[in-house]
Each structure stands twice: as C-alpha cells, then as structure tokens.
Amino acid sequence: MAPLHTDLELLKRGQWFGNLPEHLQRLIAERSTVRPYRKGEFLLREGESGKGMFALLEGRTRHLRSAGNASEVLLHVGEPGFWFGEYAAVCRQPSLGSAIADTACRALVLPAAEFERIVDEEPRYLRPFAMLMGERFALAYRFAAEVRGLKTEEWLRVRLAAVADLQRRDQPSRKPPTITLSQSELATMIGVSRQRLSVLLRRLQQRGLIEVGYRKIRLLG
C-alpha cells in the first residue's frame, strides 16, 4: 500500500485538489481515511444517503445512473485522481448515481460528518466544493444539449474529448490523451450498439482524429 504522502502527491497534481488552499488540503488529508474496495463493491449507491467525498487513488470505478425501467447508464469511468460524491456532501441529498469498483481499488474517503465539520469551522471552504459540483453540472447540461443536437459521429468525438479533458484535469502529465475504455463501455456511454460504435470509431480514425487499440483510444486531433 502506498504511503499517504505518495497518495497526496498524486492528488495535488490534479486541478481541483491542487488548487485548494494548503490548509484545506491538510484538513482533508487529516480527516480522511484510505480504504480498499473489492471489484464489484459499491463506493456510493444511487438513492442512498451520501457517505462523503471520495478520491480514487488506485484502480478504476464505474459511475452509473438508472434511467427509467432501463438498465443503468454508464456516465464515466473514474481513474486515479478522480473526485466524486460532492453533490450528496454539499446538498445533503441522496446520491444521484452509483459508483462501483471496476477493479480492486483504493480511495481516500472524507466522511460526510468530517466534511460538515470542515465547512462549519470555516464556511469559506464550502465554495471550492460547490465549484467542483458546479463544474460537473455544467458538463452534464452541455451533454444534454449535444446528445440531441449533434450527429452521432460528432457526439462520439465530443464525448471522447470530454473524457480526455477530465483525465487531464486529474492526471495532467498524461500525454498524448489516451482513453482507457473498452468499446462496450464506450457504446453504453454514448447510447449506441457495439456494432454501430465500431463503424463510428472507424470513421473518426479515417479522419485522423483517433487511434484505436485494445481497450484504448488515443486522441490525435
């Protein structure tokens, strides 16, 4: 298991945590715990009270939301450096979706009670948490328009670029942008069949915009 200072160095490279005041970084580190999760274990479960905020340190997580009577929709695949759980923490509401360990993983967990303690002691510290939540909602608002307004091929290109941008925010040293998603995961994420996705990826590759490998897509343009 990596020592805590190594985990913090990983998180400090990310855009959100790295730009927090040093005192707030220290409070989060001191009042959080690091715990392992088995593959398939829930970190958050949709509709349940929020457990706090999480930062993924190792492994991968799947972030899902149920849609009517259909099966759950894959929204994102988290990689090390990814923060989540901010909505339930800030708004004191049940979790909007589920986060499940896609592999064995470790996460830094700031319990809900400790989050409340931090912002009660210094109300100004609520703002950066709210800004993270606001960024996520702005992205979701943009996606809601683009999924209806763009042709499927362009929607795929935009969605890939957004995934890469999120990864760069959490791991800015990652160059060139490489998205570690299987084609089945990506098909679920954009709402097309696996066969249709293969056609769309081939078109983007022919345009010189991506390079497709096994469970990896590299963005070229």
| CATH 1.10.10.10, the chain: domain bounds | 151-219
For residue 213, what pLDDT is reported?
86
The fold adopted by the segment(s) 4-142 is Jelly Rolls (2.60.120)
Residue range(s) occupied by CATH 2.60.120.10 in the chain: 4-142
- pTM of the model as a whole: 0.90
Per-residue model confidence as pLDDT tens digits over 7-45: 999 999 999 999 999 999 999 999 999 999 999 999 999
* pLDDT on residue 3: 44
For the chain, the three-class secondary structure string (H helix, E strand, C coil) is: CCCHHHHHHHHHCCHHHHCCCHHHHHHHHHHCEEEEECCCCEEECCCCECCEEEEEEECCEEEEECCCCCCCEEEEEECCCCEECHHHHHHCCECCCEEEECCCEEEEEEEHHHHHHHHHHCHHHHHHHHHHHHHHHHHHHHHHHHHHHCCHHHHHHHHHHHHHHHHHHHCCCCCCCEECCCHHHHHHHHCCCHHHHHHHHHHHHHCCCEEEECCEEEECC
Q: Which residues of the chain have pLDDT under 70?
A: 1-4, 69-70, 173-176, 221
Domain 151-219 adopts which CATH fold?
Arc Repressor Mutant, subunit A (1.10.10)
